[in-house]
Amino acid sequence: VPAAVVRKHHKWPSILATHHLGALVWSAGVPLQLVLPRDTPAQRARHRVVGRAVLAAAALLSLGFSRILAKGLRASDDYERVFPGTLGPTSARVYAFLDLRVVPALGLWFVLTAMAAARFAADGQTARHRRWAIRHVGSGLWVVVQRVFIFVAYGVHESGLHPFSGPHKLAAFYGSAGLGVVSCLGLAEVFAR
């Protein structure tokens, strides 16, 4: 991924303090929630505290995401700046649809699943809480999985098997996102049932 794309949020402290900080706390809290035992009263109390931190981090992350959308910081535009001529008329429309419709819908699903998990936890409905918490994890984890797929795609490029131009790099970014979304949301739904 071009450095200019990776560092694009550095000039926006409000995004770093919300989206990036929220993502850091969320990414640390989620594995703890999934692996730490909840057998004793103290362990369950810790689970509630970490759960609240994860919920607060999800809210912070989402606030930052809304700032990203409001500022129009779209990945397709980043690649066009770094690799002029990357976007043809058709690809510009496709990527605009993904950036303006699909990605915000994923952000909304992230928020709704967090709210549902919190609601069922507060109501003491453990089984329903667990199902919605799993869906929430899947709704955020796809971004991490996307990065793994990008590294694989760039590894193929670096090996010399397939040269990458600007359009290839942009397609790898969005294709990796699609694989991350389908795999994480799909597996989350399987595990939630």
Mean pLDDT of 97-120: 95
pTM of the model: 0.89
pLDDT in tens, 141-185: 999 999 999 888 878 777 777 667 778 788 888 899 999 999 999
Q: What average pLDDT is seen over the chain?
A: 90
Mean pLDDT of 32-55: 95
CB of 10 closer than 8 Å to CB of 16 = yes
Q: How confident is the model at residue 2 (pLDDT cuts 50, 70, 90)?
A: low
Q: Measured over all CA atoms, what is the biggest interatomic distance in the chain, rounded to whole angstroms?
A: 60
Cα separation, 130 vs 7, whole angstroms: 35
